[in-house]
């Protein structure tokens, strides 16, 4: 009798990679390693990371297929990730996809729908059930990334420094994160990874969500996300589904803003992994 295929699924963000070895929907092994990003790492660096931290955990396992999903897995970078993976795992089936496809596979599976990511950055697409049929470019946190942690943080510091927050909140923010206006300018305009810095301020928003000036930021952030992205897709016919920490933690606000715009929300999950396990069952 043909035994169940052992499938290794990876979901890689900027900071960590979630690995899951599954067979017929059952989890055999699950662990995390450092984030793998072909935009910031060479093929050699990725291969080294896999050899040191991923292969040793799995070396006694038979693996039939690997499905790797990651940020920065744009078409021109896919081959280098495949090559790096095949150095540690010389098997026939290795597929590499973007994090947006991870969202689509996880949230919509083989059905049409709209898949969105709201994390440090944001992204979205309309999914046919087999492929992306339309995608509005996220444009990054300076020009876009509406609905993301970076966008929330950008609105928060901008409003704080322009004295648009309720009494005392600006001082609280600066004190809690040991910031000054000069440090903020430096972190946003001169240091690497400004979007990560901005997204790291999101807990402050959650902490003060009862405040009207803070709630206004959250609603504006999601309203922009829907209007500038989702409403360009066929949203009347499709459910809009979300993956990512911002979507998960601010789900109530997301639903409220969506219903005001006549948008139907489907799933909201923190990580795509559960849906991916289901997808390869």
Model pLDDT for residues 242-260, shown as the tens digit of each residue: 999 999 999 999 999 999 9
Pick the more confident residue, 59 or 223.
Answer: 223
CA-CA distance, 119 to 162, in Å (whole number)? 26
How many Å is the Cα radius of gyration of the chain? 20
Chain segment 156-168, per-residue pLDDT in tens: 999 999 999 999 9
Report the mean per-residue pLDDT for the chain. Answer: 93
Q: Is 72 within 8 Å of 39 (Cβ atoms)?
A: yes
**pTM for the whole structure:** 0.88
pLDDT digits (tens, 9 = 90+) for 10-27: 999 877 899 999 998 899
Q: Taking a C-beta distance cutoff of 8 angstroms, is the pair 104, 115 a contact?
A: yes
pLDDT band at 3 (very low <50, low <70, confident <90, very high): low
Strands (E), 93-153: 93-98, 113-118, 122-127, 132-134
**Res. 29 pLDDT band, cuts 50 70 90:** very high
Give the three-class secondary structure for 146: coil
Instruction: Indicate the range of 57-71, 93-107, 128-142, 159-173 predicted with least confidence.
Output: 128-142
- Decide: 156 and 201 in contact? Cβ < 8 Å: yes
| Alpha-helix residue ranges (DSSP H) falling in 12-54 | 43-53
pLDDT for 66 equals: 96
């Amino acid at each position: 009798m043909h035994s169940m295929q052992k499938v290794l699924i990876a979901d890689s963000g900027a900071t960590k990679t979630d690995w899951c070895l599954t067979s017929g929907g059952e989890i055999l092994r699950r662990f995390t390693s450092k984030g793998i990003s072909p935009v910031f790492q060479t093929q050699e660096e990725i291969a080294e990371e896999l050899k040191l931290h991923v292969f040793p955990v799995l070396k006694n396992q038979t693996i039939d297929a690997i499905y790797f999903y990651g940020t920065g897995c744009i078409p021109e970078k896919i081959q280098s990730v495949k090559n790096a993976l095949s150095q540690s795992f010389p098997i026939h089936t290795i597929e590499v996809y973007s994090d947006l496809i991870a969202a689509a596979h996880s949230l919509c599976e083989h059905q049409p729908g709209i898949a969105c990511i709201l994390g440090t950055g944001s992204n979205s697409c309309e999914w046919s059930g087999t492929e992306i049929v339309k995608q509005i470019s996220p444009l990054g946190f300076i020009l876009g990334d509406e609905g993301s942690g970076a966008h929330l943080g950008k609105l928060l510091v901008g409003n704080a420094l322009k004295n648009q927050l309720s009494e005392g909140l600006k001082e609280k923010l600066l004190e809690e994160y040991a910031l000054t206006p000069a440090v903020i300018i430096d972190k946003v305009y001169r240091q690497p990874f400004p979007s990560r810095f901005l997204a790291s301020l999101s807990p402050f928003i959650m902490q003060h969500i009862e405040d009207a000036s803070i709630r206004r930021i959250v609603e504006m952030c999601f309203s922009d996300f829907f209007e500038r992205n989702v409403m360009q897709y066929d949203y009347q016919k499709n459910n809009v589904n979300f993956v990512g920490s911002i979507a998960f933690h601010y789900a109530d606000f997301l639903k409220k803003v969506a219903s005001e715009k006549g948008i139907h929300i489907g799933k909201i999950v923190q990580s795509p992994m559960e849906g991916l396990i289901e997808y390869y069952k």
